[in-house]
Every structure is written in C-alpha cells, then in structure tokens.
Structure 1
Amino acid sequence: MSGAATLDRVTEVTVSSVVLPLPTGVSDAKVLTGRQQPMTEVAVLFAEITAESGLTGLGLGYSKRAGGPGQFAHARELCPVLLGADPSDIAKIWDRLMWAGASVGRGGLAVQAIAAFDIALWDLKAKRAGLPLAKLLGAHRDSVRCYNTTGGFLHLSIEEVLDRAAESLARGIGGVKLKVGHPDSAIDLARVTAVREKLGDRVPLMVDANQQWDRATARRMCRALDPFGLAWIEEPLDAFDFDGHARLVSTFDTPIATGEMLTSAAEHARLIGAGGADIVQPDAPRIGGITQFLKEMALADSENIALAPHFAMEVHVHLAAAYPRESWVEHFEWFDPLFDERMTIADGRMHLSARPGLGVSLSDRARAWTVAEYTARA
C-alpha cells in the first residue's frame, strides 16, 4: 500500500539489447591460454525507466562474451515488477526484483539483469534532484584519477602499446595498464620493461594477468615485478582464490588488486574478510547495481582498502568520486559510440560533468545496434 509519502510512480519500463561491435578482435591472457576466443563485440543491456513525473532514468549492464541474450531475457521477465512502484524506494525495489527471480540465485546473470534497473533508478533519482549522481551520493571530489586499459592488450605489438600509451598520456589520462599473463613470462617482463623505460618512473603503471597464473607462477611474477614500482598487479590468481590473493598481499610490496569478476556484494565481503586485496575492483553492473556497490564501498572503507572500479566509466566515475579515499577509474572508450556525451579528461583525471544523473543519453547508433527490445506499461 502507498501513502501520502509516495511521490512518484513507474509508468513504463523498456529494456533493450544492443550488440556493440569492436573495431578489432581483442586478446588478453585468457585467449593466449586457450580459455577464450578473441573478443569481437560486447552485448549491452539498457534499461529505461519512466515515471509519472515525466523523467526517465537510464541504466546498463553488459556481457563481454556469452550471456547477453540471457541477461535480456531475465530483465524482460522482471519489467512488470517495477510498474507502479515509487522509483525513490530503490533498495525496496532491488529486493522485489531479486525475490522475483530468487530461484536462479543472488549473483551472476540474475543480479546483472537487476543492475540495469537499479542504475536507471539511481539515474532517475539524481535527475529528480537536479544533481549529478556523485553529488546526490555525496561527492568527496569533482574528479577521479583515471588510467587507460585498451592500449595494453596482448594482441597489440609492443610498438603499438608504446604508441597508445603515449597517446593516452597526451589526452590527459593519468596512467596506463598492460595486460600480462602470456604463457612465456619473459615476454611479459620484456613488455613491462619497455613501457616503464619509455614512460619513466613517475607515470602510474599497472599490470593485469586476468586470473591466468597459478600460485607458484604468481609468486614468481610478483617477485619479478616488484622492482618496477607498479601501481598494482591485477588478478594474479583465480578470482575466487581469496586465500591465495591474501598470501600475495602479505608477501609483496606491490599492491594486489582484484574483484572485477565477483558478482555479488557477499562475494566481495568474503574477499575483503580474507584480506585478499589491497585494492578492490567492484563492477556495479556485475554485482547488481549501485545499491549493492554502496554496500561494497562502506565495507571497503571500513577496512581501509583502496577502490578502483572495473570498466563502465560512465557509471563508476560517480561512485569513485563518492568514495572517501582517493580512487581510480578505468578509461575504456569502447562505449563512446553508445552515448551522445563524452567524459571530460584532463591532468590525469576524469572530471564530473554538471549534467544531472549519470549525464549520458543513448545515441542514434546505439538504437541502430539494438537487436531486441521490450516495453512494459502500467
């Protein structure tokens, strides 16, 4: 039942599945170890939630390989659950959506479908307030340190990596991340050496093994990489090897970062409880949206852990700006064609815009790449 405090109602919900083509096949260590094929596209799930007020919130989820059609199918099933709800009651709605599909679990694809709705509700709430999302949450800063990942993939030659690193810095991006985890560790070390020599010691440099090392290899590589003064070593082990990550944290000087592959706040609580990360890397679309991400932020802050959200910079710049500790946000230009707006980058940082909500709107190209769509109306 609703009372006088009900200020608005959801009248329409649209979900759409967009297939975003990548300019070239992308390879990280998982491809070189034979576990995956090069990535050629990203499936993006969009949710648009319109209320009686006339405002519409935009949210998103994604799958970099299999799973996109499944996310869309589950989101389509959940659309009617939102109709008639007060969009301000975001945590209540999250629980209703989760219980509607509880038999398929509280993590993974099930909550990734919910994430698109949750992010759209937060976008809508910030728009109603006339504030950027970070300001609605309570920003600690108006810009966040940013680093580029797309120029460091393993399918690129070292010459291409060096060129793209220089281009990133010239654009105002503050740091560079390299993919490692090559079956021949000598190749990894040669690439890191070349980039460090080219950029110098003052440019923040990160590496990412994408979970492809076993414990012995991770120890050996962390020891070899310690002298490079890296900002962090990312996903040296399987994402769920919390104890193995904790041993690396306690042994080596270089910070250990992980968490992007976890799909619930509960899994992140296990990682943090085990002492498995110096830097946590939650992904709002993967863990169920902003409502769950805020739980992660509170827990990480209470344990004095740094934050560097994974991917989806259009969402994460707001969340990183609202984290009490200085954070990082990952620059990926892949989503640029999907939105009419661009992120502002200068002096090594990604800057918040004055636009309300997330500050982005879907482009005509995103509409053209839509392969499935469903609308529910009250």
Structure 2
Amino acid sequence: MNTASDRIGSVVLSRVDLPLDTPISDAKVLTGRQKPLTSVSMLFAEIRTEEGWEGVGYTYSKRAGGPGQYAHAREVAPELIGEDPNDIQRIWTKLVWAGASVGRSGLATQAIAAIDIALWDLKAKRARLPLAKLLGAHRDAVACYNTSGGFLSTPLEQVVDNTRAAREAGIGGIKIKVGHPDRRADLARVAAVREELGDFPLMVDANQQWDRGTATRMGRVLEEFDLVWIEEPLDAYDAVGHAALARELATPIATGEMLTSAFEHRELLRHESVDFLQPDAARVGGITPFLAIMAAGRDAGVRLAPHFAMEIHLHLAAAYELDPWVEHFDWLQPLFDERPEIADGRMLVPGRPGLGITISEQARAWTVQQARTDADGTTALAE
C-alpha cells in the first residue's frame, strides 16, 4: 500500500452510554455540588482511509455533556474527508477553527479529542508500532495505582478490602477519596488504609473540596501518613493557591485533571503549582495538545500522572522522560476486547499496534447514537 498518498475516506461517530454497576460518590456529591455518577457517556471515532487503514479513539463525559460532544463532532467530521491522516497537527487546528466560535477549549475540543486520538492510533498502526513506541518510549511498563475502590460512597470496611484485593492483583499504589464534610472521617479512612498497606504507595484525592485554610490544615495533618501526593486540594483553577500549598507542605501536590487546554496546564507550571501534573487527553482535546503539555511538564521538571483513560494514557506516560504514574480504572473495560496486563506494580505497554484496543460487542450494544460521514455526506445510522 502507498500510505504516503492515502486519504481519509470515512468517519463513524458513536455515542455509547456506559452504565456503572453502582452509583459513585466523591466529595462533590457529599457537599451537594453534584449527584451520584451512574453512567459515563462515551464518544467513539472510527476513522477509515481509502487504503483500508483504521483508527479508533474516544472521549467521554460524566453526568452532562455527552450529547453535546457527539453533536459537535458530527458537525465538524466532514472536514476530515480527503485529508492526509498523517497531518495530525494541521487537522487538529483545522477542526478547532471549524468550531472556534464556541471556543478552543472545553466541550468543543473534547469532541474532537476522539478524532485526534483515532488519528494517532491510525498513524501508529500504519507504522506497525504501539503508540508508545511511535512517540519514543522511555519504558515498557508504567507504575500504576488504583482509584476505583476508594470512593467516599464506599464503606470503609469495603475500601480496606478493595485495597487488599488491588494490591494482591499487582497494583503498585492505592488512591482513596477524601474531602468528607467531617474531617475526622477523612482521617479515619486514611489511617485505616495506611494501616492495611504498611509501607506501600498511598495517595489521596480531595476533588477540589477544600478552601485554602482547610487544605493547609489537612495537608499538615496528613503529612504523618507519608503520601505520594494530595490531589486537587483546591479548586482546579486556583493555580496561586496550589502554588502556596506546594511551598507550605512536605507532601507533593497533584492536579490538572479538570483543565481543558494546554494553556491552562501551562498556568499551573508557570506558578509552580504542582509536583505531579495530571492532564487528561480526552479533556484537553486529544493526544496532540497532550504532547504539548508533556513537553512543558518535562521542561519544568514535574512528574506526570494522567487522569483516567488508562488505555490511552499508558502509552503517553511510557513516553514521558520523568518516571510517571498511570491511573488504573476498570470502569471502561467492558468497552474493549483487551485487558491491561499488570505485574509487579506496573502496567505493561501492549505490543499491539496503535493503542492496542478493539471496541467490544457490548459497547456496540450500548450505542445510543451513531453517524457515518464520507464523501457523499453524513448519514445517521442510529438515533
């Protein structure tokens, strides 16, 4: 095949409603800001070239925004037809400007994240390389920590049991949620998990629920537990407050998952707000802007711990120079035929080309909207 002259022939967009086994609550629910999470809205992009190469990518939304992501992606998808799929940066810019009147961050770029990720998957497949290898991997496995067993909606006894099970399964670290309205409940949970773990990596996540004074007081008390980091102690956009905490506390500060652009992450770095940067490729607009964040983070000398979406972030973390973490979340596993391999506390980069994922039949069954775009226009396949 002459891949140098290949062009994009079609794009299929699918909105999939992924149900969760049990409703999930963190501090934002307990403080009344949000309702429990019962499902995740996924947007898949499947791109096929005229020569028959295929790439798959996804983005997601929790609670609200899924239908909007799908609608925006469907509007800009015709811009892809006839493009050279190698020109990913140029295509990203073209798609952003196609919808620039509604912004160059947030929902608009989250919608095109699925497309951008699919193009990177496609490019790696054409090179017959795992994406990590295409980007230039520093390692073949990444330290991984588990989050999904430590939500505030989970009784403490179950959190301890989940912690034990995750460790026995080979996970390299445990993160639990804090930010309970009763600070004593937070401390009891951390103490119980630390007692279970002994000398083993432990992180906590406050989900933006503390003000500056509370974060400082809690941070000082939590120092006795020798945490890897305190995550999102303050509002995600309070770069100055996070910088003050980073100077005040011995425990490292981690944040960034709620930000929706490379620019916003550069603000964290400019203020020296973080020790661990936590971008999410789906939220910032895809792998293309994520790579810009990686470059800025490397230059600033901070470590990387991408949020969620381990199927994507495993490859990106493997290509980061400073030793990173990747978050193990089993929520998305029903959507794919493959499962991550974990050994000795690390998640192994798959040897399959691209991202190494295949959309499952179960994901197809959960599809609620789908549209195909090709040279003849857009056709709704299911609504």
Q: Residue in 2 aligned with 1:360?
A: 357
Correspondent of 1:14 among 12, 15, 29:
12
Q: Cα distance, 1:5 vs. partner?
A: 9.5
Correspondent of 2:284 among 287, 299, 314:
287
Q: Cα distance, 1:271 vs. partner?
A: 1.1
Q: Cα distance, 1:322 vs. partner?
A: 0.2
Correspondent of 1:51 among 49, 52, 74:
49
Q: 1:342 to 1:5 in 2, by over 3 A?
A: closer
Query: Helix, strand or coil for the counterpart of 2:331?
Result: helix
Correspondent of 1:149 among 147, 161, 183:
147
Q: Cα distance, 1:306 vs. partner?
A: 0.4
Q: Residue in 1 aligned with 2:323?
A: 326
Q: Residue in 1 aligned with 2:22?
A: 24
Query: Helix, strand or coil for the counterpart of 1:44?
Result: strand
Unaligned runs of 5+ in 2: 376-383
Alignment of 1:99-114 (within 5 A): 99-114=97-112
Query: Helix, strand or coil for the counterpart of 1:103?
Result: helix
Alignment of 1:245-256 (within 5 A): 245-256=242-253
Q: 1:174 to 1:13 in 2, by over 3 A?
A: same
Question: Percent identical across equivalent pairs?
Answer: 64
Q: Cα distance, 1:179 vs. partner?
A: 0.2
Distance 2:367 2:60 in 1: 13
For the pair 1:168 / 2:189, whether they are aligned, the reply is: no
Correspondent of 1:95 among 93, 118, 123:
93
Q: 1:5 to 1:25 in 2, by over 3 A?
A: closer
**Structure 2 counterpart of 1:301, one-letter code:** R
Alignment of 1:147-226 (within 5 A): 147-201=145-199, 203-226=200-223
Distance 1:137 1:6 in 2: 19
Distance 1:217 1:107 in 2: 31
Deviations 1:271-297 (A, max 9, x none): 110111111000000001000000000
When normalised by structure 1's length, the TM-score is 0.98
Query: Helix, strand or coil for the counterpart of 2:5?
Result: coil
Q: Cα distance, 1:353 vs. partner?
A: 1.1
Distance 2:122 2:154 in 1: 40
Query: Helix, strand or coil for the counterpart of 1:343?
Result: coil
**Structure 2 counterpart of 1:192, one-letter code:** V
Query: Helix, strand or coil for the counterpart of 1:207?
Result: strand
Distance 1:96 1:256 in 2: 35
Q: Residue in 1 aligned with 2:300?
A: 303
Deviations 1:93-135 (A, max 9, x none): 0000000000000110000001000000000000000000000
Q: 1:55 to 1:363 in 2, by over 3 A?
A: same
Distance 1:185 1:70 in 2: 37
Correspondent of 1:344 among 341, 345, 351:
341
Contact 2:204 2:229 survives alignment (8 Å): yes
Q: Residue in 2 aligned with 1:77?
A: 75
Q: Cα distance, 1:8 vs. partner?
A: 1.2
**Structure 1 counterpart of 2:127, one-letter code:** A
Distance 2:152 2:8 in 1: 45
Deviations 1:73-93 (A, max 9, x none): 000001100000000000000
Query: Helix, strand or coil for the counterpart of 2:332?
Result: helix
Distance 2:126 2:144 in 1: 28
Deviations 1:318-368 (A, max 9, x none): 000000011000000000000000011110000011100000010000000
**Structure 1 counterpart of 2:273, one-letter code:** G
Point out 4+ residue stretches in structure 1 off by more than 4 angstroms.
none
CA RMSD across the alignment? 0.9
Q: Residue in 1 aligned with 2:120?
A: 122
**Structure 2 counterpart of 1:137, one-letter code:** L
Contact 2:260 2:283 survives alignment (8 Å): yes
**Structure 2 counterpart of 1:51, one-letter code:** T
Contact 2:3 2:51 survives alignment (8 Å): no
**Structure 1 counterpart of 2:87, one-letter code:** D
Distance 1:83 1:204 in 2: 47
Alignment of 1:133-148 (within 5 A): 133-148=131-146
Q: Cα distance, 1:53 vs. partner?
A: 2.1
Distance 1:302 1:261 in 2: 22
Distance 1:239 1:315 in 2: 22
Distance 2:309 2:104 in 1: 21
Distance 1:25 1:220 in 2: 31
Query: Helix, strand or coil for the counterpart of 1:334?
Result: coil
Distance 1:279 1:53 in 2: 42
Distance 1:355 1:209 in 2: 36
Distance 2:85 2:340 in 1: 27
Correspondent of 1:267 among 261, 264, 289:
264
Q: Residue in 2 aligned with 1:35?
A: 33
Q: Cα distance, 1:6 vs. partner?
A: 4.8
